[in-house]
Structure 1
């Protein structure tokens, strides 16, 4: 067998490599069934084995027993039924439930199948003993690791990490005014209604945020502004985190997290002891982010914003 392709791709082609091995073993299995005169398809084996252990099971029971989907089991049952290896009936207590039972034809193969299973089991154990790594145990470990976190989630996390490295956090400049304004308007109007204080801050950020001692940070992805966050000075020791917004098309790159960390670092540089924020509990991803950053819920004074129903604080 030519392994050149997999030597080039490495572990990236794990699924293809496993599928190749599976196809090779399935081909071998078909020949082995013929050797013992057992006229079944290799893919039927899990269902046949499960029914041999406990006959008269539903499709759902079989699917759970062998770890296949119900659709996959139904297809196998259909093939076995066409070859008269199973009988299909309705449950006596529930006409909606289909019960699968081995036919007499299938049962006549069971003695030979048991001999085959014993020989195959010993042969596989001997082969695994010759290997440097125990494949059976490795597959158990692989299943465990995929249960902890799917390959999709692992790849998605790596993608986010890679893309987040292309994010730059820069100080506000006049060239970013329109982006600052539009990103916040889009975010606010998606969930709430704009209020007078929003217009004041978004239309006049220099006057309302920067000149009184605050600052605005802009997140750039590949040079384009995709996120904003502001620090508004409340007094000499407390700043408010406000006007955090991320372009929906740029989400998934940890931009909110990067902005939050950068703003807290800036607050520390400005001599802040506390950073305060106002939000709404309906914004679950935002609240989760604030908790992750280290903010704790507090009972503050009445907010000037109608949409505020939660206040949080971070102690530097």
Structure 2
């Protein structure tokens, strides 16, 4: 029978992504990882977060697409970081209160990184505006930071945009978010505008990642 597998499997090693089968072929110890619980529904990616030096796997993270059972966590995780640094804006309220109508039904997608235990470690959205794809609403739960979940979310939202044949993906951010800006640059985003945005109070930088797609 043909394989019905609909997700990719990867190792995250030192900030780099490697095909899981390739990693296991070169590191036999990883095959006995012990992560045997079934994958969640709507899973599109499985990531084994590896400490290669200690030959341990820290977590098996699953990336799932939007489901209404995660709606409240999408809202709550985003409100936590926004309210700590900025003022919640009307566009935030619309997207966080009505993600189906404002993101999903408009052709976009929301991705959730789940820990092996099923905890939502972080979220990110690909929002479609006038035919353009925007990376938005990205955040990682405080106790899950520094473990690679942000990199996994970045990779998945970029891959989704490529799959949908968008020529580029852009984002609106703030220079105050130094760690986030550094992460965006690592993934190839370039600054295309600096200065206060006329509609978004906290935005003073716009970045863009062009895809070399024919």
Alignment counterpart, residue 108 of structure 2, candidates 183, 206, 214: 214
State the TM-score, normalized to the length of structure 2.
Answer: 0.70
Distance, in Å, in 2 between the alignment partners of 1:235 and 1:157 is 44
Task: Classify the secondary structure of the residue corresponding to 1:200.
Answer: helix
Alignment counterpart, residue 308 of structure 1, candidates 199, 203, 211: 203
Task: Classify the secondary structure of the residue corresponding to 1:299.
Answer: strand
| 1:295/1:158 CA distance change after superposition, 3 Å | farther
Q: How many residues align?
A: 159
Structure 1 position 189, deviation (Å): 1.0
Distance, in Å, in 2 between the alignment partners of 1:296 and 1:287 is 10
State the TM-score, normalized to the length of structure 1.
Answer: 0.48
| 1:213/1:196 CA distance change after superposition, 3 Å | same
Structure 1 position 156, deviation (Å): 7.4
The aligned counterpart of 1:183 is 77
Q: CA RMSD in A?
A: 2.0
Distance, in Å, in 2 between the alignment partners of 1:191 and 1:228 is 18
Q: Is the 8 A contact 2:51 2:57 kept in 1?
A: no
Structure showing the higher helix proportion among its residues: 1
The aligned counterpart of 1:196 is 90
Task: Classify the secondary structure of the residue corresponding to 2:94.
Answer: helix
The one of the two structures with greater contact order (alpha-carbon pairs below 8 A, sep at least 6) is 2
Structure 1 position 158, deviation (Å): 5.2
Structure 1 position 226, deviation (Å): 1.3
Structure 1, unaligned runs of 5 or more: 1-154
Distance, in Å, in 1 between the alignment partners of 2:121 and 2:176 is 23
* CA deviation map 1:258-302 (0-9, x unaligned): 000000000011111010101111111100000011100002894
* CA deviation map 1:208-253 (0-9, x unaligned): 00101111000101211110000111233x2000000100100111
